[in-house]
Amino acid sequence: MTMVLTGSTIRNARKAKGMSQVQLAEGICTQATVSSIENQNTSPNFDILAAICRKLDLLITDVAKNSSYGDKVFSYIEDDMRNHMYAEAKNHIDQIDRERLNTKTMKCKYHCYRGFIELYINDDIDEAIYNFNLQLTQYCADEATFYQAWSNLGIGLAYQKLGKLSRAENFIDASAQILSKVKKEGKHNMCVIVDLYIDVIAAYSELGKYDRASCLIHEILHQLTQQDLIYKADVLAELESKCLYAKGQVIQATMKQFAAMFIAELRGNTDLAEKIMNRNQSHIVEMVKNELSKNEGNPTFVK
C-alpha cells in the first residue's frame, strides 16, 4: 500500500544532517526512491520508510499522513511480540509518537505492547504494570477484547517476577477467561489466539498449575482439530509433556515428547524436533537405534 507522507520533513532532516539523497539511500533503496519520497510525498514500501526514518532520527508519526501507517507498524510489532522478539518490537514502537495516535484502538495496542517491552527489555516492572493498567482502564472498548486478555497476562507475569504468586495467578486466570470468550466470538485469527494461549499455558506451568495448563492444552488442540489446523500443535504437545513429567507420569510424558517431535517435523519446526531427538530424548533414540541394528538385514513384518 502506498503511504502518504510529508516528503519535505524528510528532505529537511536529510539536509540538516548534511546528507545527499545518494547517501540517504545507501543500504536502503535507490536514490530515485528517495527523490520520489521527498518530492511526491509517497513511499511504496513501509520498510523503506521505516529505515529512512531511523537513519534520520525521525519518528514515523513525524512524516506519515494517512492512518494506515499505524495498522502497518502495529502489525510489525504484534508479529514480534507473538514471537517473543521484544527487542525488535521495541525498535518499531520507538518510532511511534504516542501523542499522535488518534484512535482508541491504536492507544490500546500501544500500551499493551509497551507494557511487555518495559517488562522484558527495560526490566521496569512498575512501568510495565502502569502501561497494562492504562490499557485496561482507559483504552479497552468492551469487556472481552484480545488485548485485555494480553494485558491481564502481562500483569500476571509482572507479579510473578515480583514473587507475588497469588496475584500473578489471579491475573493469569482473568486472561484465560477473557481469551476463552474471545475464542468463542470467532472474531480473531485462530493462530493469534493459539499464540496467546501458549503464553498463558506456560505461565500456569511456571506456577505449578499443571492441571489447569493441561486442560487449556486439550481445549486448544480440540479447537485446532475442529478447524483442520496443526498450528503449533507440536509446541502444545511439548508443553503437555512437561506437565506430565512434573506430575510424575513419565511414560505418558515421553510418548507426548515423541508426538511433539513428529508434529514438529511435519510443520517444519526443525529446532523443536532436533531438541527433542538430540537432547531431550537422545538416550531413548540411541537405545532404539541399537535394538534396530541387531535386526539389520533381517526381514521385518512391515508391509
Q: Is residue 173 part of a domain?
A: yes
Is-contact 281 289, C-beta < 8 A? no
Q: Is residue 72 part of a domain?
A: no
Pick from 19-28, 93-102, 207-216, 248-257: least confident: 93-102
Is-contact 5 42, C-beta < 8 A? yes
Q: Is residue 157 part of a domain?
A: yes
Assess whether pLDDT exceeds 60 at residue 263: yes
Pick from 22-31, 60-69, 175-184, 185-194: least confident: 60-69
Q: What is the mean pLDDT of the chain?
A: 86
95 & 48 share domain: no
CATH code of residue 41: 1.10.260.40
Give me the residue label for grid cell 517476577. 161
Assess whether pLDDT exceeds 70 at residue 297: no
Mean pLDDT of 118-146: 89
Range of the domain at 280: 189-295
Assess whether pLDDT exceeds 60 at residue 67: no
Q: Is residue 213 part of a domain?
A: yes
Global pTM reads 0.78
Q: What is the pLDDT of residue 177?
A: 95
62 & 150 share domain: no
Domain boundary among 143, 166, 184: 184
100 & 179 share domain: yes
Is-contact 129 115, C-beta < 8 A? yes
Number of domains making up the chain: 3
